[in-house]
Amino acid sequence: MIYNFLESSEDKKNSEIVIVGYPFDSTSSFRAGSRNGPNSLRFFSWNLETFSNYQKKDIHEKNYFDMGDVELPFGDIKKTNSIIYKTTKRLLNSKKKIISLGGEHSITYPIIKAFNEYYDDFILVVFDAHADLREEYLGVKFSHACVVRNCVKLLGEKRVCQLGIRSYTKEEFEFSKKLLSFNEDINSFDFNLIKGKRIYISIDLDVLDPSVFPGTGTPEAGGFNFKDFINFILKFQDNEIVGVDLVELSPEHDISGISQAAAAKIVREIILLL
Ligand SMILES: [Mn+2]
């Protein structure tokens, strides 16, 4: 049984928001499995109310359409990136706001490439436990371990913020000093840096603490609890959010379902923020 996201509209043409899944996990450096992320998130979304207890609004106030997962050639990162890029371009050209579900974090690069051709001024805000600032990983330039470095090449250093980061090499740490912001402790993030700016938000769900989000390939101790994370992203409600992706949910690493439930609830809040 394949689900769509909670009570999704059937009308793609008139929907302002489109949810799309990219079930790709072929460069995962530790434990693969995020290809099953989008559908498990959809399944768990049916356990949610459409009304947000945080924002006191119902997602039916928005018109959102879940177009399902895009078929991808697993094992071919180049072709996969090209398909993700073209899909994103097509959705942007039809004026959709896009929530992209991974899959692994590598999917963010072709998405950002398309967004950067459509909007030339947004700030990329990345939540992650890992810096992902490597030039290459095991010889693979488009690995999920390099995704933010590749985005910096597209956007420039001063259009990238990283939040919640607690795992990096010495080289990545040195490089991070060039970015607009790089914070392990989110309380030190200066919201003035993005005041009045358009933002794109990329959420690697391993930014959450493994005790609340064990269902991911590369868990890293010392992260956000769920409520702090939701409260933090709600602070972006005054910014124009041009797009969002959620990546690295690997459901087979969490038989309890708490990770899937957390991820689905974050998507509900994101729909209301867009
Ligand atoms: Mn990560």
CATH code of the domain containing 255: 3.40.800.10
- Domain with 56 in it: 17-273
Per the annotation, does 238 bind a ligand? no
Higher pLDDT: 129 or 30? It is: 129
Q: Taking Cα atoms as reference points, which of 11, 182, 196, 24 lies closest to residue 108?
A: 24
Three-state SS for the chain is CCCCCCCCECCCCCCCEEEEEECCCCCCCCCCCHHHHHHHHHHHHCCCCCECCCCCCEHHHCCEEEEEECCCCCCCHHHHHHHHHHHHHHHHHCCCEEEEEECCHHHHHHHHHHHHHHCCCCEEEEECCECCCCCCECCECCCHHHHHHHHHHHHCHHHEEEECCCECCHHHHHHHCCCCEEECCHHHCCHHHHCCCEEEEEEEHHHECCCCCCCCCCCCCCCECHHHHHHHHHHHHHCEEEEEEEECCCHHHCCCCHHHHHHHHHHHHHHHHC
Per the annotation, does 253 bind a ligand? no
pLDDT of 2 higher than 70 = no
Residue 39 lies in a domain: yes
181-201 tens-digit pLDDT:
999 988 889 999 999 999 999
How many whole angstroms from 132 Cα to the centroid of ligand 1?
7
How many whole angstroms from 107 Cα to the centroid of ligand 1?
13
Residue 8 lies in a domain: no
Residue 1 lies in a domain: no
Distance CA 251, CA 84 (A): 22
pTM higher than 0.95, yes or no? Answer: yes
39-78 tens-digit pLDDT:
999 999 999 999 999 999 999 999 999 999 999 998 899 9
Residue 2 lies in a domain: no
How many whole angstroms from 5 Cα to the centroid of ligand 1?
24
Q: What's phi and psi for 119, nearest 5 deg?
A: -115, 130
Residue 6 lies in a domain: no
* Number of domains within the chain: 1
Residue 163 lies in a domain: yes
Per the annotation, does 144 bind a ligand? no
Residue 7 lies in a domain: no
Distance CA 65, CA 41 (A): 15
pLDDT of 28 higher than 80 = no
Residue 112 lies in a domain: yes
How many whole angstroms from 18 Cα to the centroid of ligand 1?
24
224-246 tens-digit pLDDT:
999 999 999 999 999 999 999 99
